[in-house]
Amino acid sequence: ALASFKRQQEQGFQEQSALAAEAREIRRQELLEKITEGQAAKKLKLEQESGTSGSQEAGGKQAAEENEASAGQAAGEHEEACEGSSPQPGPSNGVAPLPRSALLIQLATARPRPIKARPLDWRVQSKDWPHAGRPAHELRYSIYRDLWERGFFLSAAGKFGGDFLVYPGDPLRFHAHYIAQCWAPGDPIPLQDLVSAGRLGTSVRKTLLLCSPQPDGKVVYTSLQWASL
């Protein structure tokens, strides 16, 4: 996969380099046309001025003609130099190549070839799922599934010292009512952790909910509130 990405990235860089060189060549031609038009207008103005100044001395007229001739010669040399340059993109024409820092990278949000993709069934457990068979994951999942089937909404509760925040409805409309902690049926709960979790839940106006799944598939819930005794 990485080699394919590198190959596509290099191909994109070559295509963008060619397009950038073509755009610079078009811009150069546009500027060349403007320069040529400006030189022609200047030459015409000098000719008009020389025509209206017929009463001037011959020395001044000759000097003006020499200036016109030198300007025309310089313009011709400039045009020949521009025409002699190769319009093909590449390092030999004096055009700086496109730096790799300017490369545009496309972020794919969909598979470009969906026909070749293997269809997946969301009802079948993935073989690549890394948490399959882990007791801690199975414990949390069984409680999550039970609360979800009861109509609650859940989110992470790490900053509240729990496993889940339990909402009675959409979290955008309701505050969480419970801080759920997942415990296995045979695991001892330290008294200090129990008291600190109860006090924290009460201080944030939430009820601590101890959740323990049973062997028959049911989940036992115990709610605690700090009474400040």
Q: Distance between CA atoms of 95 and 89, rounded to whole angstroms?
A: 8
From the list 167, 178, 218, 221, the catalytic residue is: 167
Give catalytic status of residue 131 as yes or no: no
Q: Distance between CA atoms of 173 and 157, rounded to whole angstroms?
A: 18
Q: Distance between CA atoms of 124 and 75, rounded to whole angstroms?
A: 77
Six-digit token pair at 43?
């030459």
Give catalytic status of residue 42 as yes or no: no
Please tell me what DSSP assigns to residue 21: H
Please count the CA atoms within 13 angstroms of the CA of 224 that sit on its side-chain side: 20
Give catalytic status of residue 177 as yes or no: no
Q: Distance between CA atoms of 155 and 143, rounded to whole angstroms?
A: 13
Please tell me what DSSP assigns to residue 213: E
Six-digit token pair at 209?
């909910």
From the list 144, 206, 218, 221, the catalytic residue is: 206
From the list 175, 177, 218, 221, the catalytic residue is: 175
Furthest C-alpha separation in the chain: 120
Catalytic residues: 167, 175, 206
